[in-house]
Chains A and B, each alone.
Chain A
Amino acid sequence: MDAILVEGLTKKFNGFTAVDGISFAVTSGELFGLLGPNGAGKTTTINMLSTLLLPTSGRAEVAGFEVIRNRDAVRKSIGIVFQETALDGKLTGRENLDFHGMMYGLSKEDRKARIQDVLELVELSDKAGVLVENYSGGMKRRLEIARGLMHRPKVLFLDEPTLGLDAQTRRHIWDYIKKLNRDAGVTIILTTHYMEEADYLCQRTAIMDLGKFVALDTPSGLKDILGGDVVSMEFEKGMDSFVSQIERLDWIKRIKLHDGSLSLTMEKGERRIPELINLAQRVGVTVDCVHLRKPSLEDVFLHFTGRTIREQEASAAERFRAMMGPGHAARGRR
């Protein structure tokens, strides 16, 4: 059964199209990723699927319920961890969970048992009585994940679950997410702009850019599209004559010029590097540096959009500023 079914989902804000007619399905029990830069429309998509925003057009079903007509049934079936903290700092961890349990109609005994279970899962049992305002960023995230699971949702949305966390905490959270998906069979949809996060966690990943899906496949399937390793080279001068030489080599599958550096796609890149340097010397070109990269989702993103995810974020911020007018230039989103 499909946990999520989306057809032509669109959201416009004052003429600006944040999500542009996306369609996809997520199978029950899947760990599905939405990967893209800030401003790509990931959060807007999540907000529509979790009934917080009404779509402009298109339809979506979550856990078999329509998100527009059957909001309460959808709300009962989902858990969500928002991008920004959504905890009450003046309540303790346990009280935040108890509040949630009551809002979702859990009985007193059930709440007690669930609170203990989920706190153990995220290893916060000993901090349950502490006011949340005294928690660290990582503890807050873990508590939110625990809260999202309290009412045994069929589908769990995680919007940038590790944003702003240190590497070690991120690793921990990844392990929780994997464990949850594997042991509890919860369908998980996560958004991220960290390539390695999508790569490590997701069974399938959609790459989102400017409100559209530009690709959708397993992380390894996405990387296969690139056709092998990427060797990037930078030159002091004479890149053009080097390019005209290598265009004749049949083991180079793709040549891309990007920001004054050359990206070459090939298999077994590490064995080809000496050959490339010899060739450069023969045509009298000085190589500044050589870099070998096994394909990552970053490359996939570059391949589909012609830009790296960081450049995309910079230009998205520009578009946002242009849209809001000069008076709002300094007021970005929190």
Chain B
Amino acid sequence: MILNGVAIYVLWLREMKRFLRAKSRIVGSLAMPLFFLAFLGFGFSRMAIPGVSAGVKYVNFLVPGIIGMGMLFSSMMAGMSVLWDREFGFLKEIMVAPVSRVSIVLGRIAGGATTALIQALMILIISLFIGFRIASFGSFIMALVFMLLISTSFIGLGLVFASKMKDMQGFGLVMNFIIFPLFFLSGALYPLQNFPPWVRLLTYVDPLTYGIDGLRASLLGVSSFSLLFDLFLLLGISVLMVSLGAYFFEKSESV
């Protein structure tokens, strides 16, 4: 359990370089959230949706949800990028280095969280152009804290899956049976109280529910749970997910 600061830094640096060099990846990862925001936001703009507080326009209700969605997808990808490294052989170079596995996990989380945050901020900035308003600087900082917690939680979860898989074959399964349900059950697109009771139970075990609710609490001042409840629950989830990710990564065979 020795933390190696230089190794964490260089793993983070590598992610940054790779991210900035893959321009098409940045554009691609922004496209889906922006399409959702634009088409759903304008498509439903004149509809009254039960559960959205009076005085909150649907498009504004949607912005925190879409930010959460972007974080979910990019963070799971970042966690699962171990699979890419395994596929291209680079994982062996990392694993054979005299660096504790915990440092490797932390470096990956630092890199993944930074790229996910950059993408989320880009969505937030673009949403300002379609009329979204952030209440205060304080609420912006609070939203950043939630973004960080969402991304570390799902990078941890991504690491768990990546450690359990030998190759990329299972990626589609995770996409369809984990990532999409997490997204649709999180209340990113609609208020959760419209679900029948048994589905609502499922929404309560989805970590993204609290992430998006927390983002709404910070950015809009409207939420289902209290901001502090969201914050501490998500903090706990994120610590748990990172620990699980580190544990399974440590146990996985590197060749």
Contacts and interface: CB of A to CB of B under 8 A. Distances in A.
Nearest to B254: A52
A72 B17 CA distance: 28
A102 B89 contact: no
Q: How large is the interface on A (under 10, 10 to 19, 20 to 34, 35 or more residues)?
A: 20 to 34
Contact of A90 (B17, B92, B97, B100): B17
A102 B10 contact: yes
B175 to A, nearest CB: 22
Contact of B92 (A52, A76, A104): A52
Interface string A51-63: 1110000000000
17 contacts: A52-B96, A52-B255, A53-B255, A75-B97, A78-B96, A80-B96, A82-B89, A86-B90, A87-B93, A89-B88, A90-B17, A91-B17, A91-B18, A102-B6, A103-B98, A103-B99, A104-B97
A170 interface: no
Interface string B90-123: 1111111111100000000000000000000000
B254 A75 contact: no
Would you call the interface of chain B mostly helix, strand, loop, or mixed? helix
A51 B254 CA distance: 10
A95 interface: yes
B7 interface: yes
A50 interface: yes
Nearest to B10: A102
A88 B18 contact: yes
A210 B22 CA distance: 44
Given A99-B10, A102-B7, A88 B98 contact: no
A98 B13 CA distance: 11
A103 B255 contact: no
A105 interface: yes
A7 B88 CA distance: 33
Nearest to A75: B98
A307 interface: no
For B18, B98, B100, the residue with the greatest tally of chain A CB atoms inside 10 Å of its CB is B98
A85 interface: yes
B21 interface: yes
B6 A105 contact: yes
